[in-house]
Amino acid sequence: MSANTPQSALITGNSSGLGLGFTEVLATAGARVYGMSRRGCPEPRIAGDERVDLGEFDTIAPAMDRLLEGVTRLDLVILNAGLLGHIQRMPDAPMEELRLLMDVNTFANKVILDRLLAREIEVGQIVAISSGAAVFGNAGWSGYSLSKAALNMLMQLYSHEFPGVPVHSLAPGLIDTAMQDYLCEEADSETFTALQRIKAARGTRTMPDPQTAAQDVLDILPRLREQPSGSFVDIRALNDPEEYARLTGRR
């Protein structure tokens, strides 16, 4: 394990996709990883795992108390769990769906951070997995964009509650996960044209598999710590500023 590799981490949403990728990469490096999701984590080397629906706020603190019993420090907290919802026009977005996205993608993270504070767990770094959709605002991105934009501000606000701890929201770029099955195969790319760039990226190095993307995010953590605490960072802006400029010019 290198000096920079976290030795302990809490990863939410680690039953699949990027969260499972983080868990696998960190477990391989010898870290103690604790996770929360509804389905549970299939990685056998996980140190602790709780099945919890993060949309059910009342169940989060008891689950964290069971999960983190005896844990006094977490080198890394990755707030990764997230839902996509539907790609749709805003007038078509049901309020119940918008509420669910805000609950899981945004407010559940308030409950988790509050519990870490209440338990007085020392934390080395906090990263919330956001999205380019938090700032691009392309047609169709609906509650997902809203919830990720609110997540960015939530992290800025919580940066004041964790003095001395680097707190960031991070867009990880495109990753070939279950979310992409919906975006590339089911959503209407004729109406919502931003999807065409995403579909074209599938199967290319622009959309890595979850383990590769997880390693990319872990590799960027030291540079992330140099950014002002509370800020939103897109990994593409750090790794490939020209590509990021092209991307934002295309919105």
Ligand X SMILES: NC(=O)c1ccc[n+]([C@@H]2O[C@H](COP(=O)([O-])OP(=O)(O)OC[C@H]3O[C@@H](n4cnc5c(N)ncnc54)[C@H](OP(=O)(O)O)[C@@H]3O)[C@@H](O)[C@H]2O)c1
Summarize as ranges the residues that interact with ligand X (CB under 6 A). Answer: 13-19, 37-39, 53-55, 80-83, 104, 129, 131, 171-172, 174-175, 177-180
The minimum distance between CB 39 and ligand X, in angstroms, equals 3
Q: Identify the bridge partners of residue 169 per DSSP, sorted by sequence position.
A: 128, 232
- Contact by Cβ (8 Å): 76, 124: yes
The minimum distance between CB 121 and ligand X, in angstroms, equals 20
Q: Which is nearer to ligand X, 72 or 193 (CB)?
A: 193
H or E stretch including 76? strand 76-79
The minimum distance between CB 164 and ligand X, in angstroms, equals 26
Q: Which is nearer to ligand X, 60 or 123 (CB)?
A: 60
The minimum distance between CB 104 and ligand X, in angstroms, equals 4
Q: Which is nearer to ligand X, 58 or 120 (CB)?
A: 58
Q: How far apart are CA 79 and CA 105, in angstroms?
A: 9
Question: Which three-class secondary structure state does DSSP give residue 233?
Answer: strand
Q: Which is nearer to ligand X, 55 or 163 (CB)?
A: 55
Neighbours of 205 (CB within 10 A): 7
Amino acid at site 77: V
The minimum distance between CB 3 and ligand X, in angstroms, equals 27
Do β-strands 122-123 and 73-74 pair in parallel, antiparallel, or remain unpaired? parallel
The pairs formed by 88-97 with CB atoms below 8 angstroms and a separation of 24 or more are 88/140, 88/142, 89/139, 89/140, 89/142, 90/142, 93/142, 93/143, 97/142, 97/143
Q: How far apart are CA 184 and CA 220, in angstroms?
A: 27
The minimum distance between CB 23 and ligand X, in angstroms, equals 10
Q: Which is nearer to ligand X, 39 or 89 (CB)?
A: 39
Q: Which is nearer to ligand X, 49 or 75 (CB)?
A: 49
The sign one gets for the Cα dihedral 169, 170, 176, 182 is positive
Q: How far apart are CA 241 and CA 76, in angstroms?
A: 26
Q: Which is nearer to ligand X, 146 or 171 (CB)?
A: 171
The minimum distance between CB 53 and ligand X, in angstroms, equals 5
